[in-house]
Each structure stands twice: as C-alpha cells, then as structure tokens.
Chains A and B, each alone.
Chain A
C-alpha cells in the first residue's frame, strides 16, 4: 500500500461514488418497499382478523429466516423458471426490500403494541373506525416509537446493498473489486476507501434520523419518562 496506490484509488473516486449512487438507489427502493409492506403487515399482525394475523406472522418468519444472499439468488433465478427475466437491480430491490419489510414489520408491531390500549379505546369511543383509529392515533405514535429501531434497520440494510453484486448489480463493492482485479495492489486501498464511504453514509443517515426524531418529539413527554 504505497502512496502511489492510494493516489490511484483516489483518482478513481468518481467511479466508486458512481457505484455508491447505485447502493443509494437500492437503499431508497428497498427501504420504501420495506416501509410500506412492513407497515401493512404490522397493522395486520396487530389489528387484523385472525387468518390475516397468521399470514402476517408467517410472512415475517419466512423472510427473516432465509439468508439474504439466498433470497437475492432466489429472487433472481426464481422468476426465470417461468420465463420472466427480472433485471438485477429490480431483483435486488425486491429481495432486500421484502426481507427488510419483515424486519420493519416487527419494529412497527412492537411499537404499535407499546402504545397504551386506552388510545385505541378513546379513539373508538369518539366514533372513529378501527382503520381511522390506526391511521390517526396509533400509527403517528407508533412511528415515533419506531424511529430508534428503524435507524438500526437503516444501518443494516445500507450495508446489505453491497450483497447485490451477487446478482450482477454493479455497486460500490463491485467497483472496488474492479479496481483490485485490474491492479491488485489497489485492492486494499479501494476496500478501505469504500469502508470510509460507508462510515460517512451511516453517520449522515443516523444524524438525519436523529434530527427527525428531535423534530417529532412530543413536548413534555420525554421529561416524564
């Protein structure tokens, strides 16, 4: 690892950043998918009728049990059996997003259950339907409670986006390997650079979430805890 190698890697920074933008696109896709599905499954698991509750629990169990690298490969190879060719990027968003939704569902479920039962009662007593009560009373409180757990999930899935290379998504890790395979002495500097990029990204993300948490803080509530 001479200075010359470091300089070469830094000269290739645009390539690495371009790879990183693919990771960010993956992250955006999988977090959105995971958020939406996670929310739906959490609400179903807590408030749904029994059959749906079981379905939601089963879903969570399945997608939390299968190793993500296997999920990626299954999502990529699987549909091809039926003549459907999913692009690597789409397959990665689906696989990682479904997996994340199962974890996010657990985060939201725990948060929904942490909201005192009286909140639901009071909402129903006013004449709000169950759906309205969840939408206007339970979720706004549960989502605030979820933020810490969600930040953790963010940090995990951000790193998981580097697994997408297994199905051929050219993301930052793959770009780093390109550098290393073309000129082997660059391998370690390239990996360290990628590690630094992830340190920065994780910090920025958690900082933003922390700011959001502060903004959404309910006055008076923290003092009582």
Chain B
C-alpha cells in the first residue's frame, strides 16, 4: 500500500493536536499540475498542496481521497467527503448544489490539435468535427453550450480521463481536444512536435474549492482565511511559480526535498519558498 501509505502519512498533518478535526478532501488525482500521482506514488499538485498548507494554518487534519471527477460533487452532497479540490470551475449549475470558496485560479479553455493536422481554432471546431473532452468538465460543457446548442453540429466524444482523449487525438480518431490551459500545456510538453494548441478560448473560468451546500461543518471561512494568509505571505505566488510551467519530474524532485518542512516542521510559508527555489534551481540544471 505504498501510494496510500505515503498519501495518508502526508495527509495526516495535524498529528500534534490529539483527535483533531479531520476533513476528507476528494480529488481526481489525474490532472497535472493541479493534482497527480508522482513517479514515487505521492499525491502532488497545486490543489492538494494548497489544501495541506491551509490545514496546517487552520489547525485541522485532512485525508486526501482519490475519486473519479464526476463522482466528487455527488460524494460531497452525500457527505462522503467534505471538500472537493480538483480544479473545479465555479458554475451556476454547480453552485446550486454545493458551496464554492472564492476563486483561486482563472483558466481558459484551449483547443488541442495534432501538429500535422493544419487545423486552427476555427477549422478545428467546424460542424462534423470530432471533439473530445473529459466527462463532467467545463471543457465538455463549453462544447455543448457554445457549439452544439448553437447549431454547430460537432461530434462530442467524452472520456473518463483526459489522457485517453489525448491518445485518441494522437491516433487520429478525433480532431481536437478541449481542455484547460495548464494541462494542455503539459500535454504539448510531453508530446514534443506532435501536439499544438490551436487556440485559446477565453472562457475566464474561475476555479474554487467546494463543500456541501450551506457549509454545515463551517469549512469555507477557514479555507478563505488560509488562502488570505498564503497570499499575504507570498507563499501563494511561490506555489504558483513552482507548479506551473515546469516539467513534472522537476516539481516532484523539489517536492520531495521540501515536503518535510510542511509535514514535520509544519511551516507552510517556508515550504512554499523552498519549493519555488528548488524548482528553479533544478530546472536551470
């Protein structure tokens, strides 16, 4: 149980306080750089580290639970998990059934195509084109709402995870993949010369952490307070600098070097600084 063991060990941050409160954080841990599983089996990612840092600042424990993306909101509603942290775009529909934190990230959608396809953002989305997206994501909703519902009859193909969409794109079975910007950039990096971001759709999507409607456990104010502290201390910017635009193995190496500062010394601010410095140092090599 290596993966789980490490994940639980890392997640159980509030060991100091006996029988401290514990919240279960649900995340679909297959979406770098927001959340992914490292080569060594650790749960990494921007969302997860923010959750861990806030937990230390606010004095509660978290346990990270990996769940399929479209199960997270039902699980929060059902009370199976307490917090959803998985790059959720704040939408009106979702806000009807769960409560969101204030936005912590803004993303646009990108249109990914094969480099040799010659497609651009217009030609990639013409009627009849096959467009892939991950089930339950705003990318999929965007295609439904802004193309199909408007009479642009593209064929929307849904996937359980976005790497499967990318594989189909590379295999030529679909023409484009609609996906958030950061993961798209990761994909382009991993398939050098094969994939191309044909264009950015300025959706200006705001990401939020989510909890059950009415926030019965009073988690949101603590998340807000934690995010505020992280921003004021510069830890937030350090985390962003570390996680975005860098190769995953560099981030993983830096994370392993710095994570004791968070888990053992329980100092989120210094941890973020360490992570940013280490990533920069390693990527310059």
A contact residues vs B (CB 8 Å cutoff): 12, 14-15, 18, 22, 73, 76-78, 80-81, 83, 85, 88, 165-168, 170, 174-175, 177-178, 180-185, 187-188
Contacts and interface: CB of A to CB of B under 8 A. Distances in A.
A175 B187 CA distance: 19
A73 B167 contact: no
B167 A187 contact: yes
Contacts of B68: 165-166, 168
Contacts of B187: 184
Interface of B: 1-4, 26, 29-32, 36-39, 41, 65-68, 71, 74-75, 78-80, 161-164, 166-167, 186-187, 190-191, 248
Contacts of B31: 181
Of B31, B32, B71, B162, which is in contact with the most chain A CB atoms at under 10 Å from its CB?
B71
A41 B186 CA distance: 53
8 contacts: A12-B39, A73-B74, A77-B75, A168-B65, A174-B66, A177-B163, A184-B167, A184-B190
Given A81-B79, A184-B191, A73 B163 contact: no
A77 B78 contact: yes
A182 B167 contact: no
Contacts of B191: 184-185
A126 B238 CA distance: 83
Given A12-B39, A18-B2, A180 B79 contact: no
B142 to A, nearest CB: 21
A188 B71 contact: no
B248 A183 contact: yes
A188 B190 CA distance: 14
A14 B41 CA distance: 11
Contacts of A18: 1-3
B36 A184 contact: no
A177 B161 contact: yes
A88 to B, nearest CB: 7
A18 B75 CA distance: 26
Contacts of B74: 73, 77
Contacts of B30: 177-178, 180-181
Contacts of A187: 163-164, 166-167
A73 B71 contact: yes
A150 B111 CA distance: 49
A36 to B, nearest CB: 26
A180 B80 contact: no
Nearest to B5: A18
Of A73, A77, A80, A177, which is in contact with the most chain B CB atoms at under 10 Å from its CB?
A177
Contacts of B163: 177, 180-181, 184, 187
A183 B190 contact: yes
Contacts of A183: 190, 248
Contact of B65 (A88, A175, A177, A178): A88
Nearest to B67: A168
A108 B269 CA distance: 62
A73 B191 CA distance: 35
Contacts of A170: 3-4, 66
Contacts of B41: 15
Of B1, B74, B79, which is in contact with the most chain A CB atoms at under 10 Å from its CB?
B79
B248 A166 contact: no
A180 B66 contact: no
Nearest to B70: A166
A19 B59 CA distance: 33
Given A76-B75, A181-B161, 18 more contacts: A73-B71, A76-B78, A76-B80, A77-B80, A80-B78, A88-B65, A168-B26, A178-B3, A180-B163, A180-B164, A181-B32, A182-B38, A182-B248, A183-B190, A184-B191, A185-B190, A185-B191, A188-B167
A174 B30 CA distance: 9
A165 B67 CA distance: 7
Contacts of A167: 67, 71
Of B29, B36, B186, which is in contact with the most chain A CB atoms at under 10 Å from its CB?
B29
B179 to A, nearest CB: 12
Contact of A166 (B65, B71, B80): B71
A76 B71 CA distance: 11
